[in-house]
A and B are shown apart, each in its own frame.
Chain A
């Protein structure tokens, strides 16, 4: 391949120069006529000939052409090009690396199990991403390995984070139809209602029963002779009684927002939190964190700092008592189902001690007391 260079030869007699070049049998292209010069492309070998024989002319090499020009430019900018090249390579490597594995399930044992299985398959943090087919194979392998624990598994790659969604397999232990059982009282109380689905009811409404008494019998008798044994089922509601103690302070510290809010930045690595800027709302504050992004295990948060004011509220004895009762009711109601309710409550004793009020209460509750007892 010929190596052309762009040259300029200064001369007022252009035709004379061209004739001389023609005598030298040189190959010239793209001739441009300028005021006192000729510019053209000439083969590098021919240029040597020109310099040798046309010594009276001033030959100026302006530029390289074609591939050689590209080569020259590359050589000139080699530092930038090398930098870009390495940046692209680093970017490609980083974009193919997993920096975090999120296993989305509430059970920590199952999370550990999945994490261990992924590790065995070579899926760990700071490892390279795998292909879709490879992840499918890993999913199938883990599901085959733990058929009783895993119902469904999905691996989803989101940037540099691997999200593993898992559904736990729940195997219900169905009650054996041939087993026999009674419904017995789990607590002492007075029967409020009884519904029998299987078996024979042994108690009536308003009967007092003790803990362990049979409420619905699984043995079906005829003339004192057991004809059939079934697993009794049904629901028995009774009035049961609780003796509840509660203590609460007469004074309470209450926090209220002043309306002043300032932004801050926070970096979190594991459980360690580092606030970047000095707080501008003082010591008494409430903080809300908004996650901006995650990178290499670091989480960057935008912090909203709300200034708060604290005030001390002092309750009278009656107010504290009322608050204590409502607190007890709230806690009891959390345990009750739709058919259960608080029937009656009575304060037995109240005592003021060390700026606290202590309450003893009697509470009567309508509650399901029937539980199965196999025989």
Chain B
């Protein structure tokens, strides 16, 4: 998955990605995990803060710059 993402990143030359799937959200190249709970997750990206609201939110996979969040996502906000 990472190889494909890296390749996509190289080809598109973007600073970050946010992919939303069914009950699943994938963020590539976040800078910091600011808040984590089962109803709210806040991620700091380069130009804004990504606020994810929902129920039973869990982190399924995580590394330095990439995170996969699962759960019932109600809202995704961008705070500049």
- List chain A positions with a Cβ less than 8 A from chain B: 15, 18-19, 21-22, 25-31, 33
Chain B: minimal CB distance from A62 (Å): 18
A29 to B37, Cβ gap below 8 A? Answer: no
**Which residue of the partner chain, among A22, A26, A29, contacts B33 with CB atoms under 8 Å?**
A22
Secondary structure dominating the interface of A: mixed
Stretch among B5-13, B17-25, B53-61, B72-80 lining the A interface:
B53-61
Further 6 A-B residue pairs, CB within 8 A, beyond A15-B36, A28-B61? A15-B38, A18-B33, A22-B32, A22-B33, A27-B62, A30-B61
B62 to A33, Cβ gap below 8 A? Answer: no
27 interchain pairs (CB within 8 A)?
A: A15-B36, A15-B37, A15-B38, A18-B33, A18-B36, A18-B59, A18-B62, A19-B33, A19-B36, A22-B36, A25-B63, A26-B63, A27-B62, A27-B63, A27-B64, A28-B61, A28-B62, A28-B63, A29-B61, A30-B60, A30-B61, A31-B58, A31-B59, A31-B60, A31-B61, A31-B62, A33-B58
- Kindly report which residue of chain A lies nearest to residue B67, judged by CB atoms: A22
Complex CA–CA separation, A29 to B64 (angstroms): 12
- Kindly report which residue of chain B lies nearest to residue A27, judged by CB atoms: B63
Number of interface residues of B (CB under 8 A): 12
- Kindly report which residue of chain B lies nearest to residue A22, judged by CB atoms: B33
- Kindly report which residue of chain A lies nearest to residue B60, judged by CB atoms: A31
Complex CA–CA separation, A145 to B19 (angstroms): 82
- Kindly report which residue of chain A lies nearest to residue B37, judged by CB atoms: A15
Chain B: minimal CB distance from A29 (Å): 5
- List chain B positions with a Cβ less than 8 A from chain A: 32-33, 36-38, 58-64
Complex CA–CA separation, A33 to B56 (angstroms): 11
How many residue pairs link A and B with beta carbons under 8 A? The number is 32
Which residues on the B side are within 8 Å of A19 (C-beta)?
33, 36
Which residues on the B side are within 8 Å of A21 (C-beta)?
62
Complex CA–CA separation, A29 to B33 (angstroms): 16
Which residues on the B side are within 8 Å of A30 (C-beta)?
60-61
Which residues on the B side are within 8 Å of A15 (C-beta)?
36-38
A22 to B61, Cβ gap below 8 A? Answer: no
Chain A: minimal CB distance from B23 (Å): 15
Chain A: minimal CB distance from B28 (Å): 14
Complex CA–CA separation, A26 to B64 (angstroms): 6
Complex CA–CA separation, A33 to B63 (angstroms): 17
A25 to B62, Cβ gap below 8 A? Answer: no
Which residues on the B side are within 8 Å of A22 (C-beta)?
32-33, 36, 62
Complex CA–CA separation, A331 to B58 (angstroms): 106
Which residues on the B side are within 8 Å of A25 (C-beta)?
63-64
- Kindly report which residue of chain A lies nearest to residue B32, judged by CB atoms: A22
Chain B: minimal CB distance from A184 (Å): 105
Which residues on the A side are within 8 Å of B33 (C-beta)?
18-19, 22
Complex CA–CA separation, A28 to B64 (angstroms): 9
Complex CA–CA separation, A33 to B59 (angstroms): 9
Which residues on the A side are within 8 Å of B36 (C-beta)?
15, 18-19, 22
Complex CA–CA separation, A137 to B38 (angstroms): 80
- Kindly report which residue of chain B lies nearest to residue A23, judged by CB atoms: B33
Chain A: minimal CB distance from B10 (Å): 20
Which residues on the B side are within 8 Å of A31 (C-beta)?
58-62
Name, among B36, B59, B60, the residue most crowded by chain A CB atoms within 10 Å (CB to CB).
Answer: B59
Complex CA–CA separation, A194 to B32 (angstroms): 127
Chain A: minimal CB distance from B17 (Å): 18
Complex CA–CA separation, A191 to B27 (angstroms): 123
Complex CA–CA separation, A26 to B33 (angstroms): 13
Complex CA–CA separation, A27 to B60 (angstroms): 12
Which residues on the B side are within 8 Å of A33 (C-beta)?
58
Which residues on the A side are within 8 Å of B37 (C-beta)?
15
- Kindly report which residue of chain A lies nearest to residue B30, judged by CB atoms: A22
Which residues on the B side are within 8 Å of A26 (C-beta)?
63
Chain B: minimal CB distance from A122 (Å): 55
